[in-house]
Structure 1
Amino acid sequence: MKKTLAKKNLGQNFLISDLVIDQIIKYLSIEDNQNIIEIGPGRGAISFHIFNKTKNYFGIEKDQDMLKYLYPKIDEKNIILDDILKINFSSLFEEKFKLVGNIPYNISSKILEKIVDNREKFISVYLMIQKEVADRIVAQEGRKAYGRLSIFIQIFFEVEILFEIPPECFSPKPKVVSSFIKLVPRKEISYDIKDYESFSNFVKKIFNSRRKKIANNINVPKKFSNPLLQERAEDLSINKIVMLYNLINNYG
C-alpha cells in the first residue's frame, strides 16, 4: 500500500515508535470491553492494540485518506469520519469512557477546552501533546508557564506528565518534543466558583499583561481594597485567585 503523506493543515505527525506505542498501551490499562474513544487514529498505531482489547471503541478520524489503513483491522462502524470538535460524546457512549489521542498541535487548546466542558463523561484522559502545552497544564504559581490553561485544567482534573516523546518517534518529525499526559476528573471540586464563565473572564483579564499588578489589569469597585491586588496573577495560587474573584464579585 502506498503511504499517504502527512497533511500539514491537519497537523498530522504519525507515531512510529513501537516502544512508545507499548508504553501508551500499558498506561491505558484497558479492561475487557472498556469504553474507549480515540482522537485521530491516523494509521492505527495504537488503535489496533486498543481494538484487540475492547470492541467498545470509537476512533474519530477527520482525514478520509486514513480509512484505508484502519478498515482492514477495525470494523467500519467503529470509525467515525468527523471532526472531534463537532462530536457529541453522549451520542457514542452513555456511560463514562477513556479518551486517548495524539492531538494536533494547532487545535490543542480547542480540544482541551472541549475536554473541560465534557469532564463528567471521562474515566480518564490520555493525550500526546506538545511539551510546552503539557508544561503549561501542570505549572504551579511562580512559574513562567503558569496561566489560564494551568488554572482551568487543574481546577477540574488531577494532572500528570507520564513521559516525554522525542521528535524521532514520529513521521514526519515535529520540531518540538511531545509529552504523554494523564488527566483524571476530580471527584469533588474544592473551589467555590458559582459562575465559571464570569470566573473565566476574570482570569483572562488578570493574566492579560502578566508583568502588571492585578490592580492594573482589572476594574474593581470603588473603595474595594485587598493586598492581592498588588500581586501579579502569575504569583497567586488558584486558591488565592478564586478568593480574590469572590471578594470582588461579592463586594457591596
Structure 2
Amino acid sequence: MKIKKNKFSQIFLINNNLIKKIIKKINIKNNDFILEIGFGNGNLTKYLIKYKIFLFAIEIDKKLYKNLKIKYKNKINLFNYNILKFNIKIFNKKFRIIGNLPYNISKKIILYFIKFYKNIKDIYVMLQKEFVKKINANYGNKKFSKISILTQIKFNIIILLNISKKNFYPIPKVNSYFIKMIPKKYIYYNKSILNLILKISFFKKKKIIKNSMKKIFNLNNFNFLNINFNFKAKDLSIKNYLKLTNLLEKKLNL
C-alpha cells in the first residue's frame, strides 16, 4: 500500500516497548520542566503525563495539535507552533528537551539548541543516524564539518540507543540514534568571527588551511600558536579553530 506523504515529513514512533526504554533512559524527576518537540500522535506524550512534571509540548501540525488538545485538555501546555520560532527564554527555566526530530530540518533544530543552550538542562532526541555521526565526528574524520564544531563547542553528545527504521510509521529510508546532549560549561568566543573562519575553511575542503585563510591574514606570522596550517579543514581541532577566532578578534580590535 502506498503511504501518503504528510506535509511536515513526520514519522511516528510506534513501538511501545522502545518508548518505555526511551522514557527510562531520560530518568525523569518530579518537577522537571520538559519540552516535547513534535508530539505527533502522542505516543511519547502518554507516558510523560504520568509524571509530576511541568510538561510543555509543541507541534506544528494543526490537526495533530487539535487531536491532543481534545484528548488531554488542560493537562499539558500545548503549542501549535514552529519550534524554530519558539522562544524558550520567556519561561525563564532550564528545560529538558525530548523529541523525535524531523529529519529534513535536523540541522536547523540543532542550531536552535545551540542558540538557546543556556536555557537547556539536557536533550534527549531521535535523529537520523548519519546526521548524528556528522555532529559527533572528531577532527580528522571525513564527516567533521562546521556543524560538528558548532555543536561540540556547546554540547557533549552521547549515543544511547540504536533505533531501526522499522520502529516508525511511515517507515523511513534510514535508521536512527536516540542521543543525549549535555550542555558544556560556557566559553567565550566571537560567534561572527568563528562562523567566518569555518565558512572559509570548509568552503573548499581539499584546500589546506594556509591557502584558505590567506585572504584574512598571513598565517606564517602565527607559528607561535603551534597549529599545523598545512592541514585541511577537517584535520584542525576545535581548540585550534577557537585559537584562530580569538587571534582574529584581537587583530580586528573588536
SS in 2 for 1:95: coil
Matched letter for residue 78 of structure 1: N
Instruction: Please tell me whether the aligned partners of residues 95 and 122 of structure 2 are also in contact (alpha carbons under 8 angstroms).
Output: yes
Matched letter for residue 90 of structure 1: K
Which residue number in structure 2 is paired with residue 186 of structure 1?
184
Which residue number in structure 1 is paired with residue 68 of structure 2?
70
Which residue number in structure 2 is paired with residue 224 of structure 1?
221
Which residue number in structure 2 is paired with residue 79 of structure 1?
78
Which residue number in structure 1 is paired with residue 115 of structure 2?
117
**Cα distance per residue 1:181-213 (max 9 Å; x no partner):** 111111343xx52x1121112112101111111
How far off is 1:247 after superposition?
A: 3.5
Instruction: Please tell me whether the aligned partners of residues 89 and 116 of structure 2 are also in contact (alpha carbons under 8 angstroms).
Output: no
Report 1:120-131 matches (<5 A): 120-131=118-129
Distance (Å, rounded) in 2 between the aligned partners of 1:176 and 1:250 = 45
How far off is 1:125 after superposition?
A: 0.8
2:205 is aligned, of 203, 207, 210, to 210
CA pair 149-15 structure 1, distance change in 2 beyond 3 A: same
Matched letter for residue 241 of structure 2: I
Instruction: Please tell me whether the aligned partners of residues 48 and 73 of structure 1 are also in contact (alpha carbons under 8 angstroms).
Output: no
User: Within the alignment, does 1:241 sit opposite 2:237 as a pair?
Assistant: no
Percent of paired sites with the same residue = 34
Moved more, 46-55 or 123-132: 46-55
Distance (Å, rounded) in 1 between the aligned partners of 2:89 and 2:246 = 33
Matched letter for residue 121 of structure 2: I
SS in 2 for 1:19: helix
SS in 2 for 1:244: helix
Matched letter for residue 116 of structure 1: I
* TM-score when normalising by structure 2: 0.88
Instruction: Please tell me whether the aligned partners of residues 51 and 74 of structure 1 are also in contact (alpha carbons under 8 angstroms).
Output: no
Distance (Å, rounded) in 2 between the aligned partners of 1:55 and 1:7 = 34
Unmatched 5+ residue regions in structure 1?
A: none
CA pair 169-103 structure 1, distance change in 2 beyond 3 A: same
Aligned-residue CA RMSD (Å): 2.0
Which residue number in structure 1 is paired with residue 89 of structure 2?
90
SS in 2 for 1:146: coil
Structure 1: 4+ residue segments shifted above 6 A: none
CA pair 168-55 structure 1, distance change in 2 beyond 3 A: same
Report 1:37-186 matches (<5 A): 37-76=35-74, 78-91=77-90, 93-186=91-184
1:33 is aligned, of 28, 31, 46, to 31
Distance (Å, rounded) in 2 between the aligned partners of 1:173 and 1:34 = 32
* TM-score when normalising by structure 1: 0.89
How far off is 1:42 after superposition?
A: 0.2
SS in 2 for 1:207: helix
Matched letter for residue 138 of structure 1: N
Distance (Å, rounded) in 1 between the aligned partners of 2:221 and 2:178 = 44
CA pair 6-103 structure 1, distance change in 2 beyond 3 A: farther
Instruction: Please tell me whether the aligned partners of residues 37 and 58 of structure 1 are also in contact (alpha carbons under 8 angstroms).
Output: yes
Matched letter for residue 217 of structure 2: P
Matched letter for residue 125 of structure 1: I
How many residues matched?
A: 244
Instruction: Please tell me whether the aligned partners of residues 29 and 53 of structure 2 are also in contact (alpha carbons under 8 angstroms).
Output: no
SS in 1 for 2:216: coil
Distance (Å, rounded) in 1 between the aligned partners of 2:8 and 2:139 = 33
